[in-house]
Amino acid sequence: MIRMDGKEVSAAVKQQIADRVKCMGIKPGLAVIIVGDDPASRIYVNNKKKACEFCGFLSEEYSLAGDTSEQELLELIRQLNDREDIHGILCQLPLPKHIDEKAVISCISPEKDVDAFNDVNVGKIMIGNYSFLPCTPAGVMEMLDYYNIDITGKNAVVIGRSNIVGKPMAMLLLHSNATVTVCHSRTVGLKEICRRADIIVACIGKEKFVTADMVKDGAVVIDVGINRMENGKICGDVDYENVAPKTSYITPVPGGVGPMTIATLMKNTLNACIEQSKAKNK
């Protein structure tokens, strides 16, 4: 069993980006908007800021009060859309209940939508003609590539069908020639389906949901889940202790997929900078 180290892979990706930025005549710019004072969101934003600094990006943070109106937020996004030195815009989710997340995501220019949540970018992912990929699924693919795990022809099971992880994860695996099954809360015979899988990606948001009797010997298990147990510790969607001995490769929580999300955000921002520079110089 090989434990897939997300910190190691993330560091390698960020170093590649930093090296490339040093050779560019332009500095990629990322604007991060946070509304309110959600503690988890604050941690994510701080980590993104550190990653930008390491990669040599221009980083701007817009920390807005929790009672900021939807109109004020949309106006800020429009201003950032118009700035040539800002190549990527990210609005940290979740947003306060009085703000429509769909309206906010739609307002971000598709060319600067480095989260790849805009409908235009979602459609491009479906047909395989994309500029950006959702950060977590793309991070999973980066890890599979780093560890030279062959996906072609493999049976892959994605447990979860969210727009942010489950659905795009399935599409990326499909684009890499896996045979993909998407399972969810209403799937019949889930254990039997999982036992046939060469690759399992768990992104259902349930503590230790994937148990050893759901995993065949030698399977690759990717755990996207982050759950807080009663004792305050963090765990994933996979019962790591009991599942790990059966696997060929497995990601831990924490230290697995998590660090890859920010590394992929940096990659998306770099790509946005390159694409916008090309369009400007045509």
CATH (domain of 246) = 3.40.50.720
Q: What is the DSSP string of 89-131?
A: EEEPSSPPTTS-HHHHHHHS-GGGBTT--SHHHHHHHHHT--S
Name the catalytic one among 92, 154, 198, 223. Answer: 92
Based on the residue annotation, tell me whether 276 is a catalytic residue of this protein: no
Is the per-residue pLDDT at 282 higher than 90? no
Based on the residue annotation, tell me whether 48 is a catalytic residue of this protein: yes
Structural domain includes residue 247: yes
User: pTM of the full predicted structure?
Assistant: 0.93
pLDDT score for 15: 98
Q: Which tens digit of pLDDT belongs to each residue from 250-279?
A: 999 999 999 999 999 999 999 999 999 988
Residues 250 and 175 in one domain: yes
Residues 102 and 176 in one domain: no
Residues 170 and 62 in one domain: no
pLDDT score for 38: 83
Please give the mean pLDDT across all residues of the chain.
95
pLDDT score for 150: 96
List all residues 6 or more positions away from 257 whose beta carbon is below 8 Å from its beta carbon.
Answer: 6, 136, 139, 140, 143, 222, 223, 224, 251
pLDDT score for 229: 87
Q: Which tens digit of pLDDT belongs to each residue from 25-78?
A: 899 999 999 999 888 888 888 999 999 999 999 999 999 999 999 999 999 999
pLDDT score for 113: 97
Task: Quickly state the pLDDT bin for 281 (edges 50, 70, 90).
Answer: confident
Residues 101 and 145 in one domain: no
For the chain, the C-alpha Rg in angstroms (whole number) is: 19
Name the catalytic one among 14, 112, 113, 115. Answer: 115
CATH (domain of 57) = 3.40.50.10860
Q: Which tens digit of pLDDT belongs to each residue from 201-239?
A: 999 999 999 999 999 999 999 999 989 888 888 899 999
Structural domain includes residue 280: no
Percent of the chain with pLDDT over 90: 88
Over residues 165-174, the mean pLDDT reads: 97
Q: Domain range spanning residue 143? A: 135-254
Structural domain includes residue 125: no
Residues 152 and 222 in one domain: yes
Q: Which tens digit of pLDDT belongs to each residue from 99-142?
A: 999 999 999 999 999 999 999 999 999 998 988 899 999 999 99
Residues 115, 234: Cα–Cα separation, whole Å: 24
pLDDT score for 280: 80
Based on the residue annotation, tell me whether 92 is a catalytic residue of this protein: yes
Task: Quickly state the pLDDT bin for 144 (edges 50, 70, 90).
Answer: very high
